[in-house]
Chain A
Amino acid sequence: MVLVFIDQTEGHIKKSSFEVLTYGAKLAAQLGTTAEGLLLGTVNDELPALGKYGIKKVHQVSSDTLNHLDAQVFAKVIAEAVTSTGADTVVFSHNQTGKAVAPRVAARLKAGIVTGASALPDTANGFVVRKTVFSGKAFANVKIDSPIKIISLNPNSYHTAAGEGTAEVVALNIAVDAPKVKITAVNKVSGEVPLTEADIVVSGGRGLKGPENWNILLDLAKELHAATACSRPVADAHWRPHHEHVGQTGIQIAPNLYIAIGISGAIQHLAGVNRSKTIVVINKDPESPFFKAADYGIVGDAFEVVPKLTEEIRKMRAGG
């Protein structure tokens, strides 16, 4: 049985969970078995409706303690759930929660894990999972040799597909330890689209010359309901907050659309964005290395091109 970890926050199931549910159900079909979900804590969403992603059951450990992440507590509960449900394959999203918990569960169960998986495993000869390595510059095919196998899937690398079906909700009775991590505050950047969850990201580099020029980028982002990002020197100069820094040493993202404005496309920058589906580059230098990594490009002055782009998108939206 393939057990899929369903991640939730503030009463709602995260978007990345729908990807892993779809992936888990596909994997189960490939292995000739069934997929089931595992939810820790309580949510307001309809759980039987998760059946539309192809899972038969949702196991729920509904303790309020589990509405907040303590990796140590989570790992123990999940490992017990794996044992009691008899799962031999466990799937997580390689998101913030998955990174904290999945390798812990693996160590606890002495199960081999592949983190950052980007495709379904090849199960023709053993169990080989493809993962991104070298910050998106290559893939490794990694064989898991243990009886229990754990995969954490890169967010945005597997398309959610919903069909018909309802899942049976089963209460799992597992003792939950008292958390040792005491959460004292949560600071969310309100009103903005979270960068790692965003479908579209608009990003600026040193070519924008200074923080006072960011409104052209913010206007475009607003029109596209996009998250905003920046290159490292921009964050280092405090033109933009650190949490917007993408790249090898910043956040790695894989949106559907990445629009790079006044960014040269240094190899360390590309390492954080090269898994984006479509890349648009706006740069006044035709020799900018970013054009080599781009799908679409405009060689031109950002200060002229970006406002025009915002305007054209507005027109298209208005036109239907």
Chain B
Amino acid sequence: MKILVCISKTPDTTSKIAFVNGNTKFDEAGVQWIINPYDEWYALVRAIELKEKDASIVLHLVTVGGADCDPIIRKALALGGDEAIRVNADNADSFYIASQIAEIAKQGGYDLVLTGKETIDYNGSAIGAMVAELLDAPYISLATKFDLAGNTATVAREIEGGEEIAEVQLPLVVSCQKGVAEQRIPNMRGIMAARTKPLKVAEPAAVDALTSIVSYELPPPKAGVKLVSPDNVAELVRLLHEEAKAI
């Protein structure tokens, strides 16, 4: 059994969001980089749990990006996994990235590909679905539970107002969110071990991106809060009814 977990580098959740070069580039000054939380807490930790139950599982990580991603992928390896592959390319667009991951997945013959449900910077929610399509494999998105018995996966996914449980045979691609696993903190042994785990660099396949970012914008600032006295709650109800037309 071979599992591939997709890892993305994202700015820390508290990063100040600003843009440079005439609003065409994210301002990276002073930004701390982390593993995209959905990739780390849910997809990666669940894969590690599966490997802990069945030591014969081979667990590889993949990322698409420049050498600046190496510290992030080492951090991921400190949590677990046997080796990592970095496709040495810029993040052109979702289709480009998915095509690179699908290429690695095809070459490596993985039975299961796990991703986070989205990255917290681009909020694409697209890579898992595209990889599945390029592999012609079934896809379950927004998983909240994931179990494996032999070649059969049992997955719960979010639907409007609840969840749907399904059984699927591998090979399979799944995007993970809260519920699939619990966040872990890497320990010293993991961090030491990660230093010597293989981090292979692969050259990208020739693929054309289909979209490009023209510019960024910040939302207009809020007009400012209207405070109502706790002794005059009726006034809040009036404002919500008459002014905001929200109730």
Q: What residues make up the interface of A, taking CB atoms closer than 8 Å to B?
A: 9, 14, 69-72, 75, 94-96, 99-108, 110-116, 128, 130-146, 180-189, 192-197, 200, 224, 235, 242-243, 245, 248-251, 256-257, 267-268, 271, 274, 277-278, 280-281, 291-301, 304-305, 308-309, 312-313, 315-316
Contacts and interface: CB of A to CB of B under 8 A. Distances in A.
Q: Which of B133, B212, B215, B223 has the most CB of A within 10 A?
A: B133
16 contacts: A103-B125, A104-B130, A104-B132, A114-B211, A116-B123, A133-B123, A135-B120, A136-B219, A141-B217, A181-B167, A184-B167, A186-B162, A257-B246, A278-B240, A296-B226, A298-B236
Contacts of A99: 117, 125, 129, 141-142
A249 B38 contact: yes
B138 A70 contact: yes
Interface string B102-138: 0000000000000001001111111111101110111
B210 interface: yes
Contacts of B98: 103, 107
B140 interface: yes
A256 B215 contact: no
A139 B219 contact: yes
A249 B37 CA distance: 7
The 9 closest A-B pairs by CB, nearest first: A194-B161, A300-B230, A112-B210, A188-B162, A103-B126, A103-B129, A107-B133, A257-B246, A100-B141
B225 A292 contact: yes
Interface of B: 11, 13-14, 17, 19, 37-38, 41, 93-95, 98, 117, 120-130, 132-134, 136-142, 144, 154, 157-169, 178-179, 209-219, 222-223, 225-230, 233-234, 236-241, 244, 246-247
Contacts of B117: 99
Contacts, number: 282
A101 B138 CA distance: 11
A104 B138 CA distance: 10
B246 A197 contact: no
Contact of B37 (A110, A142, A248): A248
Contact of A116 (B13, B124, B137): B124
A294 B223 CA distance: 9
B95 A189 contact: no
Contact of B227 (A100, A297, A304): A297
- Looking at chain A's contact residues, the main secondary structure is mixed
Contacts of B236: 280, 296, 298, 309, 312
A301 B160 contact: no
Contact of A143 (B124, B134, B214, B230): B214
Given A183-B165, A242-B178, A257-B240, A96 B14 contact: no
Contacts of A94: 125
A256 B246 CA distance: 6
A86 B137 CA distance: 26
A138 B163 contact: no
A252 to B, nearest CB: 8
B211 A145 contact: yes
A135 B93 CA distance: 18
Given A71-B139, A99-B141, A309-B237, A184 B166 contact: yes
